[in-house]
Amino acid sequence: LAKTTQPISMDSYEGQEVNITCSHNNIATNDYITWYQQFPSQGPRFIIQGYKTKVTNEVASLFIPADRKSSTLSLPRVSLSDTAVYYCLVGDLGKAAGNKLTFGGGTRVLVKP
Partner 1 sequence: EAQVTQNPRYLITVTGKKLTVTCSQNMNHEYMSWYRQDPGLGLRQIYYSMNVEVTDKGDVPEGYKVSRKEKRNFPLILESPSPNQTSLYFCASSHPGGISYEQYFGPGTRLTVT
103 binds partner 1 (CB under 8 A): yes
CA distance 37 to 86: 5
Confirm if 45 and 56 have CB atoms less than 8 A apart: no
Which of 41, 58, 81, 113 binds partner 1 (CB under 8 A)? It is 41
Q: Which of 20, 62, 91, 109 binds partner 1 (CB under 8 A)?
A: 91
Q: How many CB atoms lie within 10 A of CB 36?
A: 20
Closest among 1, 6, 11 to 87, alpha carbons compared: 6
Region near partner 1 per CB under 8 A, out of 13-21, 52-60, 62-70, 94-102: 94-102
* 105 binds partner 1 per the rule CB under 8 A: yes
Segment near partner 1 (CB under 8 A), from 6-14, 52-60, 65-73, 97-105?
97-105
